[in-house]
Amino acid sequence: MPISDAETVVMEALWERHPLSADEVVAALSATSGWAEPTIKTLLNRLLNKGAIQAAKEGRRYLYSPVLAREAWVDQQSEGFLQRLFDGRVAPLVAHFSERGRLNAADVAELRRLLDELDGEGAPAQGDQP
């Protein structure tokens, strides 16, 4: 499901802590986002209509919780990003950042560690016959 940048800000608040009432979401976001209460409540309603969040009635208020897991959203976003910009391939993405000096020594070390782990997955364990 497509989630706008503004809706993502609301989702981040709910992923961080839930359930939250609309007033709690407003309190959490109004200072950092500069959005007015009606804007935040509109975003909550949009997310509710998309099925990204759910609302449970508690007394005279509703408590909002995410339905869409952050990990699932990250997977969707990263896959879409790779498809749009790099034809679904990771290597050109890494090359792009490398060419622009965006990879520091820690990043390179982490990439090497990940590649070593991937190489080790296909290799037979010690003592196994190839």
Task: Give me 18's structure tokens.
Answer: 């839930």
Give Cα 19 to chain centroid, integer Å.
18
What pLDDT, on a 0 to 100 scale, did the predictor assign at position 130?
A: 45
Summarize the confidence of residues 94-103 as an average pLDDT.
89
Q: Is pLDDT at 128 greater than 70 in this prediction?
A: no
What pLDDT, on a 0 to 100 scale, did the predictor assign at position 65?
A: 98
Question: How does pLDDT run across 18-77, given as a tens digit for each residue?
Answer: 999 999 999 999 889 999 999 999 999 999 999 999 999 999 999 999 999 999 999 999
What pLDDT, on a 0 to 100 scale, did the predictor assign at position 112?
A: 92
Summarize the confidence of residues 94-119 as an average pLDDT.
91
Task: Give me 10's structure tokens.
Answer: 């609301």
